[in-house]
């Protein structure tokens, strides 16, 4: 009777594990087939392309979009639709030859460029005759993940409502995890509901274990494929450590621990990936054999082993879901989002020489520098007539940037624990402590804007509505800008500083004297790499004031009077088609 009860519990637990693993397997499979999905989209029919074209411009744009038009760019590699805010020059404005692209900083949307009618960099530039476009890269602002073009407008309004309610909704990474968990629980319930009615015997139990074994082996193969490169040293060992922790009180502990050490040593090797994958698969099978032996023994220490493993795999599944949801980095923006936006804008505006003007703030400027560098390395034309960077650098090592405080958050060992940084929620939550007594976090204000350089209402809107979530994967790559030789590509082999001198695109680089995020010395570290005849460098701020912090270059109260005219003068000089 005891054996039969144990068999029943084990059978249910095994099914739970198999259900969790099957869901986990489906998630990994979505990533592994991404390349196939990309090829399918690339080979889409003319009708599909026509359907996408018909949904490029939203006829009923959300209220939060203060631009004249809202457009969406479709990507061939995924379901993301990138939002483009368009500002049309008035009839009386000077005629320009090139459209203007604006790129925002890390984890920010278009609002910073258009805070209010009194503080709108985008509106100022369009009034100067520039057909102005603000790109919201994936994961920011009104950009949406929507597979069906017919639902773009609806998704845009949903995103707008979320942005407008940013101060009240209190969305946190924990709540996002709860949403993912809720979805996983529904899928899990559906899978458990499919459980067949069988007689509880040792033979049936063994059959279920065999099925579980096959699922777990497939899981290990999928994980090995997904976590290529440096991710393999994070994700797979992490899963094994968690399983090991569940086994602390059982006899397989030592055997599993030995396998864990072998896995870690394999992942440190620089051998052929196919050989390593094969060995990882073999070790995974050994893990399954250990679990199967313990399962057959039905010994008391392993009585709840299946439940332990189910919990472990389930938790791992939820965290991996978040990683997959926010699975992009700096190079994704550089290689996919920015080029797609540039091609779309050129198709809409048709500049005679096929070039754009571009302005980038913070990470936006870094993207422009990286594009110049990558095109120089590959011998390609960047498609830019001239660029302006605001508080941007490829190398922060020589500065005292406050961003160094974020480096620990991008520790590879913490990626699973913190797969996404809810920057918008953190900043909005901290704002009351920066602006009210006892001003415990008043120093945070100085990182955004210098004293008296931004109206309180504009500061409140900037803090409450413009910041978004930042994937740990993106932050992980960005922190290489604080390491020797500066920002590098995801492979770690290309240093963007090394090829910037090959560019022939004119650059205006601006810095703020009190910018704690990208200090003037950091800006100059990149400026000095550009040929002198192609670069202009200016630090804004006087000894007696006014002073300029990170966002004052974009939306500070003195920007329209002192910065914007200098930018217009520079861009006008290169707004030729010859």
Q: How confident is the model at residue 359 (pLDDT cuts 50, 70, 90)?
A: very high
532-536 average pLDDT score: 96
As a whole number, mean pLDDT of residues 430-459 equals 75
* Range(s) of the chain covered by CATH 3.40.50.1820: 73-141+328-573
Distance of CA 286 to the CA centre of its chain: 36
Contact 109, 49 (CB under 8 A): no
> Is the domain 73-141+328-573 a CATH 3.40.30.10 member?
no
Specify the 3-state DSSP secondary structure of 252: coil
Q: How confident is the model at residue 409 (pLDDT cuts 50, 70, 90)?
A: low
Question: How far is residue 13's CA from residue 5's CA, in Å, rounded to a whole number?
Answer: 12
The pTM assigned to this predicted structure is 0.71
Mean pLDDT of 66-70: 97
Mean pLDDT along residues 372-401: 95
Residue among 207, 211, 234 at smallest CA distance from 223:
234
Which of 76-80, 89-93, 118-122, 209-213 is least confident? Answer: 209-213
pLDDT band (50, 70, 90) for residue 165:
confident
- The alpha carbon of 438 is separated from its chain's Cα centroid by a whole number of angstroms, namely 35
According to the model, what pLDDT value does residue 176 have? 42
Q: What is the pLDDT of residues 197-207, one digit of tens each?
A: 333 343 344 44
Cα–Cα–Cα angle for 44, 46, 47, rounded to 5 degrees: 100
**When comparing pLDDT for 103 and 229, which is higher?**
103
Q: Which two tokens stand for residue 108?
A: 């920010």
Across the range 435-461, mean pLDDT stands at 78
- Encode pLDDT of 337-357 as tens digits: 999 999 999 999 999 999 999
Question: What percent of the chain has a predicted confidence (pLDDT) above 90?
Answer: 44
Q: Which residues contact 292 (CB under 8 A, 6 or more apart)?
A: 209, 213
pLDDT at 352: 94
Give Cα separations from 413 to 258, 350, 416, 423, 477 (angstroms): 21, 47, 7, 20, 14
Q: What is the pLDDT of residues 11-60, one digit of tens each?
A: 444 444 444 444 444 444 444 444 333 333 332 323 343 334 334 788 89
Query: Whose CA is closest to 539, among 523, 517, 561, 555?
Result: 523
Residues whose CB is less than 8 angstroms from the CB of residue 387 and which lie 6 or more positions away in sequence, other chains included: 357, 358, 359, 360, 365, 368, 372, 505, 506, 507, 508
- Calculate what percentage of the chain has a pLDDT beyond 70: 58
State the pLDDT at residue 43. Answer: 29
């Amino acid at each position: 009777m005891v054996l039969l009860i144990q068999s029943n519990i084990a059978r249910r637990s095994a099914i739970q594990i198999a259900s969790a693993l099957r869901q986990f397997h489906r998630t990994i499979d979505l990533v592994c087939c991404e390349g196939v999905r990309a090829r399918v989209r690339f080979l889409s029919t003319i009708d599909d392309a026509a359907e996408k074209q018909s949904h490029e411009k939203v006829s009923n744009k959300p209220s939060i979009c203060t631009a004249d038009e809202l457009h969406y760019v479709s990507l061939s590699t995924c379901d993301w639709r990138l939002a483009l805010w368009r500002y049309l020059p008035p009839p009386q404005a000077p005629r320009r030859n090139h459209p203007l692209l604006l790129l925002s900083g890390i984890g920010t949307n278009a609002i910073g460029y258009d805070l209010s009618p009194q503080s709108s960099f985008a509106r100022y530039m369009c009034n100067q005759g520039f057909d102005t476009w603000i790109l919201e890269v994936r994961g920011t602002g009104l950009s949406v993940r929507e597979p069906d073009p017919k639902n773009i407008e609806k998704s845009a309004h949903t995103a707008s409502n979320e942005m407008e309610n940013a101060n009240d909704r209190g969305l946190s990474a924990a709540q996002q995890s709860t949403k993912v968990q809720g979805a996983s629980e529904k899928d899990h319930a559906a899978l458990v509901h499919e459980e067949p009615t069988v007689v509880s015997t040792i033979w049936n139990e063994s059959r279920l274990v065999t099925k579980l074994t096959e699922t777990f082996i497939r899981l290990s193969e999928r994980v090995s494929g997904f976590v290529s490169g440096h991710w393999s040293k994070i994700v797979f060992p992490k899963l094994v450590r968690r399983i090991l922790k569940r086994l602390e009180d059982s006899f397989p502990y030592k055997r599993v621990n030995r396998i864990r050490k072998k896995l870690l040593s394999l992942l440190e090797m620089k051998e052929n990936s196919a050989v390593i994958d094969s060995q990882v698969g073999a070790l995974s099978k050994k893990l399954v054999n250990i679990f199967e032996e313990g399962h057959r023994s039905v010994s008391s220490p392993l009585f709840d082993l299946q439940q332990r493993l189910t919990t472990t795999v389930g938790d791992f599944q939820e965290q991996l879901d978040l990683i997959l949801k926010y699975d992009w980095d700096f190079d994704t923006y550089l290689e996919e989002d920015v080029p797609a936006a540039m091609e779309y804008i050129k198709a809409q505006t048709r500049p005679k020489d096929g070039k754009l003007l571009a302005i980038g703030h913070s990470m936006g400027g870094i993207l422009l520098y990286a594009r110049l560098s990558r095109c120089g390395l590959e011998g390609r034309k960047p498609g830019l007539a001239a660029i302006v960077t605001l508080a941007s650098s490829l190398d922060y090592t020589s500065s005292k940037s406050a961003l160094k405080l974020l480096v620990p958050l991008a520790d590879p060992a913490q990626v699973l624990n913190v797969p996404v940084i809810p920057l918008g929620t953190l900043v909005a939550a901290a704002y009351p402590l920066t602006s009210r007594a006892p001003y415990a976090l008043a120093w945070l204000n100085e990182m955004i804007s210098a004293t008296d350089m931004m109206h309180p209402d504009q500061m409140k809107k900037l803090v409450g509505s413009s910041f978004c979530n930042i994937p740990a994967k993106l932050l992980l790559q960005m922190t290489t800008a604080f390491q020797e030789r500066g920002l590098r590509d995801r492979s770690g082999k290309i240093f963007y500083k090394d090829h910037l001198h090959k560019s022939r695109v004119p650059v205006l680089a601006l810095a703020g004297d009190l910018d704690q995020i990208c200090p003037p010395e950091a800006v100059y570290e990149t400026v000095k790499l550009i040929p002198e005849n192609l670069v202009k460098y200016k630090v804004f701020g006087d000894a007696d004031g006014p002073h300029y912090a990170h966002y004052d270059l974009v939306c500070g109260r003195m920007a329209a009077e002192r910065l914007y005219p200098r930018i217009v003068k520079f861009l006008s000089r290169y707004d030729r088609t010859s």
